[in-house]
Amino acid sequence: MTSLAQPLRLRDVTLPNRIALAPMCQYSAEGDGLPTGWHLAHLAARAVGGAGLILTEATAVVPEGRISPRDTGLWSPAHVDAWRPITALIAAQGAVPAVQLAHAGFKASTWWPFAAERGGVADADGGWTPVGPGGQPFVPNYRTPAALDQAGIDAVVAAFAQAAVYAVDAGFQAVEVHAAHGYLLHEFYSPLTNHRTDGYGGSWQGRTRLALEVVRAVRAAVGDQTPVLVRISATDWTEGGWTADDSVQFAIELARAGADLIDCSSGGADPHAQIPLGPGYQVPLSERVRRDAVVPTGAVGLITEPEQAEQIVADGQADLVLLGRELLRDPYWPRRALAKLGAEPHWPDQYLRAF
């Protein structure tokens, strides 16, 4: 058996292999953050294609936490009902359905990428006032956020916990907390974006406090059986920003708070960061966190070749590989990759005539 084909057990859930669909916004929600037939087709296709873990796009825990008006949410029973047929179809293919719970912070209320407009969405166009650690927008053409006070912070933590309860009710078997890419939780722990002087700013402990409170609340909400993953930006790629050293200590604290796997991405807090893009460019971050924090990790970012993914897992650089754009191009990449590596992937009965 190849390393990529080995099951991965996280608490009471076993992933059938080490390949995951990375969270990718589809900007196709209708109404008030409700997933649609597009989400059913998109996510189920990757489950049929053989990915062991299927992560949804960043799914907001409150309406004002959406990146755009077309993002999905999970803050009401109506959202639970809309997600249920999607999770059921994913699970029926043998994959594990998981939701990425998110709050976009000061990056909220923006136009989706394929809209004609750019920047912040005005109230008249369906937008809203975002929130953040302070009152400065991410970039000049984004909405100016309202700085969260203690009551607002408490409400964010409670919203993540409630969304986690809804997630389990909707049929999700794992939950990922989105604490990366310049969204709210990352905004708080990065020194580039958090200039507060209260208990949620200043020191390293103050800046990481909100993310740790959220993870503790999510862990309590889902119980002991459900895996909790956390996506972090393991470096800001900017002088004076968050570093890989910070991420090692953060991963230790996140594990103590109840996280089972750290999904290591990077960047997002500085629009001018110089990121050294290239095949597997974030894998060293995953390897460093896994080795020094002694926690399971996921590697993501320009992983495209079966042999590349196999080596990442076989060499102990990560416990899981997450593919984004490559799975947009080829939903069946996992089954093709496992076959190329010498495994015998199971194909759905409906497709056996092709093999």
Residue 183 annotated as catalytic? yes
Q: Tell me which of 166, 183, 189, 200 is the catalytic residue.
A: 183
What is the spatial distance between Cα 318 and Cα 250, in angstroms, rounded to a whole number? 17
Report the chain's C-alpha Rg in angstroms. Answer: 19
Instruction: Assess contact for 230 and 262: CB atoms under 8 A.
Output: yes
Between the alpha carbon of residue 343 and those of residues 132, 139, 306, 339, the distances in Å are 47, 47, 12, 5
Buried b (16+ CB within 10 A) or exposed e, 88-116: ebbbebebbbbbbbbbbbbbbbbbbeeee
What is the spatial distance between Cα 75 and Cα 79, in angstroms, rounded to a whole number? 7
DSSP run (H or E) holding 57: strand 53-60
Q: Which residues are catalytic?
A: 183
